[in-house]
Structure 1
């Protein structure tokens, strides 16, 4: 039977024609088009010189650790429950003695003004606005005092690398305590620096050196170079009170002699919560918890230290089951979506930390880009919780997630 057709009428067409108001702000237009963290990464790659982008995006050696960590989050199966009222979903909880609005925080990252001139300030402001913790690295390009002066509100954590010169380490600890930082993250997976071949091949320096390669790169990233050359020079801001060169500082930064006994010494001098970051085995997790720390971060440093290190997300269920009642368990490395965060919480993490995900937003649009990254992750957390049929973080449990393994240990022959 032939379809009967007619001439369209104006009144029929009118409801189908919609005009959106143009967004004149180029940054806002660019960020609004980003639906995922991967979208922000693509924008960041276009807008940032290769050396700076690769410093953020890259990892150690063959970069297998970060690839495996991201794959681990892809290789999960959710188990939703149905016919639950999920009109209202709560994402807040207490973390290390204080409330947080969302189950993730901003991880400590070094050289952050290299990615965008707003640097750590952008992260601190966006985190405070979202009600999540912001972690300041020892290798930050904004000082402890400047961050607090610019962003007095919000929770702030300080990340410590132990030096051979313990007096210098403790001077930083005291400055952070006096500035009101409530939690110390002691990073323990850096007896020496990892081999990051992208940085070596790019000749990455702080500040960036004007070689022929960087001059040519500047032609396609004029805005980034304009910001670099018209703002304060890049430096390790929390260390600007110390004499010596940056090279001398880096040579003294990583102390290969740090042992478990040093944790007690640090704990005695820090008035806030103490968290050990860089745990990669259950035995080490038990050892630091036995020494009275308040929390641990399962982390392989974003794959930037030992390549082929354990995947933190794979360790999470066992560590949380064994130690979750004695210390708060956090996890990082490979988190790129709200669904990743929900999976980690379901398997026992108290909170997660995001590094690259926030830095992609920073490179894509400064503070506005960081806010966009947080919004993307927040929306993903809420959407995933609703689809799983849960109304608060406490309802998430291992019954909601199965980890699927692509790689498993090969058993030796009998």
Structure 2
């Protein structure tokens, strides 16, 4: 092989320099290619009590780990030689369009994670054309969320309290503000044992201890935002100075039953969604009641540890109630491939909680936009590689659930 001395002009095509990005936030978000990347950024930038409140689950955190593992234990079965030059990711959910097959789940104490909180989530959801759900335990008011997402799809999540009048006052405010759906969460008769929060002494507002101060020193941006913006409080509730678990146990009503749900259904003029369904029997009974959707969910693993895995329940629930009520799913979703798997096995829609909060903690509103963009890109790529051009073409034959946990006979 002949060799020669390289000429200076030969280096030209090899030397391509990126245009410098001056904004540190833009640089770190652009470098995040997965939700796990956003999680790593969030962990670096957020004090431990706030990050652990988002990242943690109940007791040994087995429910959350198993839910995520269930999505990883999937084999896809692609079809080849299909025209996938154009891909339609839209979905009709509760009678209206969503540009993507996921919405933002209701999350509590959101401005504790990052000061833009629900304002960032709601406005990002509106821009992406997907629903946003505000939690009863949110840190932005019903009216402020409507202002942040005036033309978008807003849902309100309800915990039924011991004080029924206060619960229904929130429902009336949501209806008056034009919220289209009421999401009634039914898996919190009492608070789960969230041990990270107990060990961190997590209170609302955060308690300053020597340990939290030391943890905050390398995270000045969070504290500057926290101390120079509106004090953290529940915009729909009174202020609270105890632990999260104490608040939940004080407020939530463990006597709520199907009759109470039927009563709520009569009061609410819009769509009714029941969140926290963990059995085929309950799914069937709710479908017979005429609820508009159920959410297969174990509360992100934050209530009963060793709870059923929603993704494993999905095929059987779909066989039982598909067509009589919409099936939504959350818990464990960390990628667009997870969402595609759920749609293939019978889910009509999915909700993301932690995935959105990791983006929020990583970069405020642009971080939420980046989380949505990552999931959207992954959904489109997975669909193309499976050989489908619309979500309606997905079917159980595209997915095999591999099982690690089999019941003993």
Q: So what's the TM-score if we normalise by structure 1?
A: 0.96
Correspondence for 2:261: 263
Equivalent residue for 1:105, pick from 103, 106, 125: 103
Question: Kindly tell me: are residues 305 and 244 of structure 1, through their superposed partners in 2, closer, same or farther at Cα, counting changes over 3 Å?
Answer: closer
* Aligned twin of 2:88: 90
CA distance in structure 2 between the aligned counterparts of 1:41 and 1:383, rounded to whole angstroms: 22
1:273-317 deviations in Å (ceiling 9; x for gaps): 001000000001111111111110000000000000000000001
Write out aligned runs for 1:349-364 (5 A).
Answer: 349-364=347-362
| Residues 1:67 and 2:74 aligned together | no
CA distance in 2, matches of 1:246, 1:261: 32
Partner of 1:230: 228
Q: State the shift of 1:150 in Å.
A: 2.7
Rounded to whole Å, the distance in 2 between the matches of 1:45 and 1:63 is 18
Q: Secondary structure at the match of 2:236?
A: helix
For the residue of structure 2 that corresponds to 1:82, the secondary structure is coil
The gaps in structure 1 that reach 5 residues or longer are none
Match of 1:115 in 2: 113
Q: 5 Å matches for 1:310-321?
A: 310-321=308-319
The answer to whether the 8 Å contact 1:338/1:384 transfers is: yes
1:342 aligns with 2:343: no
2:396 maps to 1:406? no
Partner of 2:169: 171
- Listed one character per residue, the Cα deviations across residues 67-96 of structure 1 (whole Å, up to 9, x for unaligned) are 000000000000000000100000112100
Quick one: distance in 2 between partners of 1:97 and 1:325? 13
Work out the number of aligned pairs and report it: 407
Q: 248-257 or 181-190, which moves further after superposition? A: 248-257
CA RMSD of aligned residues (A): 1.2
Q: Distance in 1 between matches of 2:164 and 2:326?
A: 27
Query: Which residue is equivalent to 2:298?
Result: 300
2:191·2:248 contact (CA, 8 Å) conserved in 1? no
Q: Which runs of 4+ in 1 moved over 6 A?
A: 243-248
Aligned equivalents of 1:277, 1:377: Cα separation in 2: 22
Separation of aligned partners in 1, 2:240 and 2:148: 28
Q: Are residue 23 (structure 1) and residue 21 (structure 2) matched?
A: yes
Question: Which residue number in structure 1 is paired with residue 144 of structure 2?
Answer: 146
Give CA deviations for 1:98-120 in whole Å, capped at 9, x if unaligned: 11000000000000000000000
C-alpha change, 1:160 and 1:352, in structure 2 (3 Å) is same
How far the C-alpha of 1:5 sits from its partner, in A, is 1.4
Please tell me whether the aligned partners of residues 263 and 291 of structure 1 are also in contact (alpha carbons under 8 angstroms).
no
146-155 or 268-277, larger mean C-alpha shift = 146-155
In structure 2, the partner of 1:370 is: 368
2:184–2:274: 8 Å Cα contact kept in structure 1? Answer: yes
Give, in whole Å, the separation in 2 of the partners of 1:63 and 1:52: 17
Farther off after superposition, 230-239 or 34-43: 230-239
Tell me the CA shift for residue 213 of structure 1.
1.1
> Match for residue 195 of structure 1?
193
CA distance in 2 between counterparts of 1:178 and 1:258 reads 25
